[in-house]
Structure 1
Amino acid sequence: MKISTASLDWKSESPHSNQYEDIYFNPEDGISESFYVFLEANKSPQLFKESHDACITIAETGFGTGLNFILTASEWLKHSPKQSKLKYISVEKFPLSRSDLQKALKQWPQFQEISIAILEQYPCPQAGYHTITINHSHIELLLMFGDAAESYSRLNAKVDAWYLDGFAPSKNPDMWSPELFREIARLSKPGTTFSTFTAAGIVKRGLRDVGFDVRKQKGFGRKREMLVGTFVENQAPKTIDKPWFELPASAKPKGVTIIGGGLSGCLTAQALAERGVKVTLLEQENQLATGGSGNPQGALYAKLPVKQTTQGELHLSGFLYSVNMLKRLDPEESFWSQCGVMQLATSDKELARQNNLIEQETYPQELVSLKGAEELSEIANTSVNFDGLFFPSAGWVSPRALCEHFVDHPNISVVQQQVNDLSFAEGHWQLATKSGEFLSASHVVICNAEMANQFNQTDHLPLKTIRGQVSITQAKATNNQLNSVVCGDGYISPAHNQQYCFGATYDLQGKERNVTQDDHESNLEKLSKVLPDIHADLAAESNDLQGRTAFRCSTPDYMPIVGPAPVQDQFIETFAQLRKDRKWHFENAKAEHHPNLYVNTGHGSKGLITCPISAELLASMICDEPLPLPKDVIDAINPARFIIKKLIKQTI
């Protein structure tokens, strides 16, 4: 869903909301007021000093100009231990535009470094969850665009302190609702604190009703009173809508062993290593990314649905996350390029779909726009035969180079080893290897693509392979020089290391591992349809084409499998009533999982946009941190979903 940005009136360089007819911060001394009302009242600096290696979670209602976050991040950098982590969660229904935010942040030059990091990663006005990472992942801002109560209802987290900001209840009564107070209580734990600038009765009563001990204290400056308090207990009974998707309790481990050295394995390793976890990465081949992650280049973009779907939300969130990650990691663009991606409408049906997508205004123009063939030809620097969508922030990535970059970390050890069997005994996993060795690990993540279901614990996962071949050729000086990734029935990227990589075939039945001339011809035929001049150059050298064949690992619903590994027999026994009634209410039912065993696979051809966010999700699960995706999206990729679907369909 497209989000409307804030309508502002600037008064003496301070923003004033036209929607709510209220100020964003005290124009006289906004920093002191925010520090007093939110940081001091919640004892945040003291909390940071005592965090040790834990993750501290601050949640806020009303991101506004980001002042509260900037002050909190600044204090965190002053006081927190090296291995601790700050997760700051905020929500905004009418976010500032990038230009307005930049103007607001200029007022606080002492926080320039943090402000620049925010602006570089600030999301386009698109509903959903957006992650901004600062200071090598030791500070993460989860910024949710949308209604406060709805956004928090989709969150999986335990909050240490609440900054109840936002416009005054008299100006914005819809936000200060019973629904929001219930979500605040759900996400709190005994001892969770809150503070707010207001002393309004609706806020005081609302928080008391859901289990907070609420007190008044002196407000800032001329303001007489404000509210503070501590969560005691949730008065409402806890109900679990889908107990089969409840995640097991976890605590940050000292070490994790990962099976598989492709994109999912390497990115999961890096996400854990950045949290101070020692990672052993097991790869059976003598180099990383030899399977589906091994192509020289891959297109980085999301094919967006006209109306938002769970899959579409995952792909868009993942795409935006990947772009921000790559901009941070490789600003020189040595192993990726933000050259833009065009998705051509090669049929009347696809053109109608694209027109509908733009007419619905589902997505902001800075994310995607519809352009004619002539304009796309200018962008691509070669003749383009079709109209299509253009994604200016998209591009291409070299997956293997990305993998190699990620594992170059002091907390990651790469070991060439093939694992044949898993067993659990005395609190540890025993990994039986092909060489006859037995490795021990407290936590294991299975990331070895289509081989992820080779183990007894995961043999119920319905994985399938899809054969694909790309064609590779030298880019000569006389060739047309392509400036953008072009996707039609296949794709081609601008030359990298003086080579063009294009394709790819999509063969659901193919098992051939060799590169074939027939597939080269198929790739050239697809290219001829969309880029005639590029095709003419490359077809002249068709006998010199090189190539690579790999097998994408996919699933029946084309969604990845990310999360804890369920115990199939226990799931069937516990949730057997679903065979008779899919709406059955299970009381005190517990989803059983194999202890500290996780899966990250099934990314198909979307690995560049789903692997990074999935790695962050999995690392957050394992380390007991707030999760970076909405709960319904997390449920949609839960490994247990296939067991539940079979129970409902009575096929198991």
Structure 2
Amino acid sequence: MRVTWRDHSPHSEAFDDIYFNPLHGKEESLYVFWQGNLLNEKLAGNVQTVFTIAETGFGTGLNFLCTAQSFIGQSKEAQCLHFISVEKYPLALTDLAKSHTCWPEFKSLSDQLIQQYPPSTPGVYTLAFLEGRIKLTLIIGDAASGFSQLSAMVDAWYLDGFAPSKNPEMWSDALFQQMARLSHKGTTFATFTAAGAVRRGLQAVGFEVEKRKGFGQKRERLVGRYLQDNIPEPTVTPWFDLPSQARPEQVVISGAGLAGCTTAWALAQRGIKVTVLDAADKPAQGGSGNPQGALYTKLSVKPTLQSELHLCASHFSLNLLRQLDPEQTFWSECEVVQIATDDAERTRQQALINEAAYPQEIVEDGSKDTLSKLTQQTVTHDGLIMKLAGWVSPADFCRALLNHPCIDYVPDSQLTELTYQDGMWIVQTAAQKTYHTSTVILCQAEATSQFVQTQHLPLKPIRGQVSIIPASVTNQKLNQVICGDGYISPPFRDHYCFGATFELKSTSLEITDSGHDTNLHNLAKVLPDLAADFEKSKHLLTGRVSFRCSTPDYLPIVGPAPDPETTLERFAPLRKDRKWKFSNVSASHLPGLYVNCGHGSKGLVTTPLCGEYLAALICAEPLPMRKPIHDALNPSRFLIKNLIRKQI
């Protein structure tokens, strides 16, 4: 959004309107929205764990800052705030930061917001404050469309944004309908406007509306509450409906790789006791155990669900890493240079740049000369510079995640049997230990499908060998992650790690010379001088073999475990007609059983956000991704696809 600055406050050129009252912006926000929604009284009488506010225009974030600070002062210690806002035209980071200088009293919150502020690409971005006690979900996109794909229950609405006369497109019947869908009986709203179209639109969808005195010289404003019991509307894909359960006091997770540890941390941050079982003697001994991994996403030419997931997840992962390890002792936030090693890849990259779907804060084009200067290496091909990126030591990341007072990590505890009896899961391990719990999450990569309840999941291991060599074998320095047919990261603990092979049929754990040769060959295509130095010291190469857990559609499997038998029975008409319209039919799940696996080579990107998604789902909180994305991850999708294809 292009803005001009007038009297130290931003003014929208597109809508010819101000973002906030330049003299009394904070006072107006509190009067109109905090007091208009009676939030002091609501919080005092609230017994919910999470209180949810939704806003229709984020702008400079003033309403969020005012609300967050007031919440800290007024709420009980056990209460959490989830603030959801949409913004179709996000401010540039420089304009946001400049506007925040008007409110020095918010500096602590403002600094955290600025550090976590997302890119301007459409998507759902989750930001955390005060150790997760306050969360901000920022939806970049149209208000009505953004809310239509949100899964949440809202307690109070802030109807903000540019005036209805300036921006009538936002104040639409479609928006009011989504407000009603996301509200419950007693949900309140407040807005600065008293426009008749707004009043009538809210009344038409079930809100009681009252006029109150406006702020300062403004004559009137509107407040009100939702009067109806909200009944969920039937969906066209009922097999993706999500279950609800009582918030658990304790959860058992099987698997201490990235998927298990990030999920455990997300639950522990909510005060839930988590027991993490793992077959190995220490965390991250499977696919998450390589010394280093690249954190970046390979963007599609045109945005897809997968590219949106990866972008939003990369943003979430980086913010989590900043929180856990601000000194960057086991990770580094740096560029990832994606080099085109053949004409087809360069053509794809050029099409991506020409499409201009991603801003420069995410990706820039780079000639071979530019890349050589950036990396201080000889680069013989053009490529892309990825900004929302870096490298991580996955095992160190996992250990940091498990270092939480609510997490009990139990090594040498392979889960062998899972049975459901009298409303509880009975979890048995090879060490003859038994756990009883209402909620189990399976995060065991391809081993997730070894149980009767999950054997229908199509998981496949893909062998990968990385090569490791002492950094002292070369005088060259590397400060970025370089990707081509493989990747290499800057040295960590005095060693370079590069690779990895991609072997579909091999199941061997043995480190092979042929694997090293493949990795050196791929490195030579992107950094020939560095590869030559490594070749001279080839006898010093060591390595590691692990297996990526892959799925047929290359998307993770994350969500509630379906009841296979009942699912196939209920949705059997899909065998005859894939467009069959179901009525009074819902998804069938195994109560309290969830899975999180199949992240392939992108676990550093996707597991933190997917862990947050599972924790939010289990605790009945607003979900941190659009419905089309969590539908695409849903474990039921393969049963449904096979029904449609008449394969089962």
Q: Scaled by the length of structure 1, what TM-score is found?
A: 0.98
- CA drift of 1:338 comes to 1.3
SS at match of 1:424: strand
Query: What is the alpha-carbon distance in structure 2 between the residues aligned to residue 344 and residue 280 of structure 1?
Result: 42
Asked if the contact 2:301/2:352 (under 8 Å) is kept, the reply is yes
May I ask how many residue pairs the two structures share in their alignment?
Answer: 647
Asked if the contact 2:419/2:427 (under 8 Å) is kept, the reply is yes
Describe the superposition over 1:70-121 as per-residue Cα deviations: whole angstroms up to 9, x where unpaired: 0111011112233322110001111111111111100000010000001001
Q: Do residues 532 (structure 1) and 532 (structure 2) align?
A: no
Asked if the contact 1:255/1:441 (under 8 Å) is kept, the reply is yes
- CA drift of 1:51 comes to 4.1
1:651 aligned residue:
647
Q: Which amino acid aligns with 2:557?
A: I
1:213 aligned residue:
208
1:402 aligned residue:
397
Among 614, 617, 620, the residue aligned to 2:616: 620
1:3 aligned residue:
none
Question: Residues 243 and 29 (structure 1 numbering): CA distance in 2 closer, same or farther, change over 3 Å?
Answer: same
Asked if the contact 2:314/2:388 (under 8 Å) is kept, the reply is no
Query: What is the alpha-carbon distance in structure 1 between the residues aligned to residue 463 and residue 232 of structure 2?
Result: 50
Query: What is the alpha-carbon distance in structure 2 between the residues aligned to residue 547 and residue 315 of structure 1?
Result: 28
- CA drift of 1:241 comes to 2.0
Asked if the contact 1:265/1:447 (under 8 Å) is kept, the reply is yes
1:304 aligned residue:
299
Among 199, 203, 206, the residue aligned to 2:198: 203
Q: Do residues 418 (structure 1) and 414 (structure 2) align?
A: yes
Q: Do residues 480 (structure 1) and 496 (structure 2) align?
A: no
Asked if the contact 2:181/2:232 (under 8 Å) is kept, the reply is no
SS at match of 1:190: strand
Q: Which amino acid aligns with 2:27?
A: S
Query: What is the alpha-carbon distance in structure 1 between the residues aligned to residue 42 and residue 542 of structure 2?
Result: 58
Asked if the contact 2:473/2:534 (under 8 Å) is kept, the reply is no
Question: Residues 407 and 83 (structure 1 numbering): CA distance in 2 closer, same or farther, change over 3 Å?
Answer: farther
Query: What is the alpha-carbon distance in structure 1 between the residues aligned to residue 78 and residue 271 of structure 2?
Result: 6
Among 4, 18, 27, the residue aligned to 2:22: 27
Asked if the contact 1:52/1:83 (under 8 Å) is kept, the reply is no
Q: Do residues 242 (structure 1) and 213 (structure 2) align?
A: no
SS at match of 2:313: helix
2:450 aligned residue:
454
Asked if the contact 1:269/1:281 (under 8 Å) is kept, the reply is yes
SS at match of 1:476: helix
- CA drift of 1:250 comes to 2.4
Q: Do residues 431 (structure 1) and 427 (structure 2) align?
A: yes
1:587 aligned residue:
583
Among 611, 618, 627, the residue aligned to 1:631: 627
Asked if the contact 1:211/1:233 (under 8 Å) is kept, the reply is yes
Q: Which amino acid aligns with 1:521?
A: D
Q: Do residues 288 (structure 1) and 283 (structure 2) align?
A: yes
Among 592, 598, 605, the residue aligned to 1:596: 592
**1:423-572 alignment runs, 5 A limit:** 423-476=419-472, 478-572=474-568
Query: What is the alpha-carbon distance in structure 2 between the residues aligned to residue 542 and residue 634 of structure 1?
Result: 45
SS at match of 1:616: helix
Query: What is the alpha-carbon distance in structure 1 between the residues aligned to residue 235 and residue 569 of structure 2?
Result: 18
- CA drift of 1:456 comes to 1.0
Query: What is the alpha-carbon distance in structure 2 between the residues aligned to residue 643 and residue 524 of structure 1?
Result: 41
Query: What is the alpha-carbon distance in structure 2 between the residues aligned to residue 7 and residue 205 of structure 1?
Result: 32
Query: What is the alpha-carbon distance in structure 1 between the residues aligned to residue 371 and residue 238 of structure 2?
Result: 49
Question: Residues 252 and 325 (structure 1 numbering): CA distance in 2 closer, same or farther, change over 3 Å?
Answer: same
2:52 aligned residue:
57
Describe the superposition over 1:579-631 as per-residue Cα deviations: whole angstroms up to 9, x where unpaired: 11111111110211111111000000000101011001000001110000000
Q: Which amino acid aligns with 1:154?
A: Q
Describe the superposition over 1:347-406 as per-residue Cα deviations: whole angstroms up to 9, x where unpaired: 111101101100110100111011011111122121112110001341110000000000
SS at match of 1:600: strand
SS at match of 2:125: strand
Question: Residues 556 and 235 (structure 1 numbering): CA distance in 2 closer, same or farther, change over 3 Å?
Answer: closer
2:119 aligned residue:
124
Describe the superposition over 1:187-234 as per-residue Cα deviations: whole angstroms up to 9, x where unpaired: 111111101111111111111111111111121122221111111127
- CA drift of 1:52 comes to 4.8
Describe the superposition over 1:321-344 as per-residue Cα deviations: whole angstroms up to 9, x where unpaired: 111221222221101011210011
Structure 1: give runs of 5+ residues left out of the alignment: 1-5
Asked if the contact 1:213/1:229 (under 8 Å) is kept, the reply is yes
**1:224-239 alignment runs, 5 A limit:** 224-233=219-228, 238-239=233-234
Question: Residues 8 and 80 (structure 1 numbering): CA distance in 2 closer, same or farther, change over 3 Å?
Answer: same
Query: What is the alpha-carbon distance in structure 2 between the residues aligned to residue 81 and residue 412 of structure 1?
Result: 24
Q: Which amino acid aligns with 1:479?
A: N
Identity %: 52
Q: Scaled by the length of structure 2, what TM-score is found?
A: 0.98
1:367 aligned residue:
362
1:335 aligned residue:
330
Farther-moved stretch of structure 1 (574-583 vs 254-263): 574-583
Q: Which amino acid aligns with 1:304?
A: L
